[in-house]
């Protein structure tokens, strides 16, 4: 099996910097590069048969999105995840998504086809047998919640929310969801969708708070994406 570093993206038409960004980002998420480790620019350049220029461009994007830190005279270090990032992520999501739920219910806006499709993708996971499957699950989870925020019709708010995605991926990959965890998450996602469909603002916000419960101990909370 190829390592995440060497994995090719589905589209071979992407520019080198995009292909390298995708490959290194996924390698970080699946644990090939654990937090605190350094990624060698030369190794990535050789693995992808490109010059160092697109590697540096990819690294700068990964740095901007907090996947790595560029350390002078040391290179690219995978950013460790702290408790502040963990709790801050769920607090930010609760504030943004809660406000969108209020707006959508007040305006009688129904869940979109994109939200429904993401829910179906989430429901297709009966277990997460590998880090790669967990990355794919997190992508579906992100699409579900991003589709919720899109109901606001506010491009500025959507842009602000999209900046949370790297944090969602990094924090989400520290979890080790069990089959029972997935069942719980499935019930929560389904309840969010159904109560939003009924424009039941109080029930929908209650399910969101349960889904993004920031008061739970860190170890327990990390099993809830």
Q: Within this chain, do residues 144 and 42 fall inside the same structural domain, yes or no?
A: no
Q: What is the pLDDT of residue 200?
A: 98
CATH value at residue 201 = 1.20.120.530
Q: Does some domain include residue 73?
A: yes
Q: What is the pLDDT of residue 167?
A: 92
Distances in Å between the alpha carbon of 191 and those of 64, 204, 206? Answer: 35, 7, 10
Q: Does some domain include residue 89?
A: yes
Among residues 62, 78, 94, which one ends one of the domains?
78
Tokens 């589709």, located at residue: 147
Q: Within this chain, do residues 150 and 121 fall inside the same structural domain, yes or no?
A: yes
Residue 202 structural domain:
83-221
49 and 94 in contact (C-beta within 8 Å)? no
In the sheet that holds 75-78, the strands lie side by side as: 38-39, 75-78, 68-71
Residues of the chain with confidence (pLDDT) below 70: 1-12, 214-225
CATH value at residue 46 = 1.10.10.10
Closest C-alpha to 28, from 60, 62, 75, 70 = 62
Q: Within this chain, do residues 89 and 66 fall inside the same structural domain, yes or no?
A: no
Angle, alpha carbons 41-42-48 (nearest 5°): 95
128 and 138 in contact (C-beta within 8 Å)? no
Q: For residue 144, how many other CB atoms are within 10 A of its CB?
A: 22
- The set of long-range contacts for 181-189, using a CB threshold of 8 Å and a minimum separation of 24, is 181/223, 181/224, 182/125, 182/126, 182/127, 182/128, 184/224, 185/122, 185/141, 185/211, 185/224, 185/225, 186/122, 186/123, 189/119, 189/122, 189/123, 189/144
Among residues 48, 78, 108, which one ends one of the domains?
78
């Amino acid at each position: 099996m190829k390592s995440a570093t060497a994995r090719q993206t589905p589209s071979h038409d992407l520019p080198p910097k995009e292909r390298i960004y995708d490959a290194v980002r996924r390698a970080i998420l699946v644990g090939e590069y654990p937090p605190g480790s350094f990624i060698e620019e030369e190794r990535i350049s050789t693995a992808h048969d490109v010059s160092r220029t697109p590697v540096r461009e990819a690294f700068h994007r990964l740095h901007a999105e907090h996947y790595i830190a560029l350390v002078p005279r040391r290179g690219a270090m995978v950013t460790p995840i702290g408790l502040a990032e963990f709790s801050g992520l769920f607090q930010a999501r609760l504030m943004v998504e809660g406000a969108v739920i209020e707006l959508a219910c007040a305006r009688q806006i129904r869940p979109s086809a994109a939200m429904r499709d993401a829910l179906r993708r989430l429901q297709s996971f009966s277990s997460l047998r590998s880090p790669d499957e967990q990355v794919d699950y997190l992508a579906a989870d992100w699409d579900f919640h991003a589709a919720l925020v899109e109901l606001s019709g506010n491009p500025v708010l959507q842009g602000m929310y999209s900046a949370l995605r790297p944090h969602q991926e990094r924090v989400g990959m520290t979890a080790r969801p069990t089959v029972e965890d997935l069942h719980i998450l499935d019930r929560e996602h389904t309840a969010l969708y159904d109560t939003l469909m009924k424009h039941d603002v109080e029930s929908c916000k209650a399910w969101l708070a349960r889904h993004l419960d920031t008061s739970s101990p860190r170890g327990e909370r990390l099993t809830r994406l």
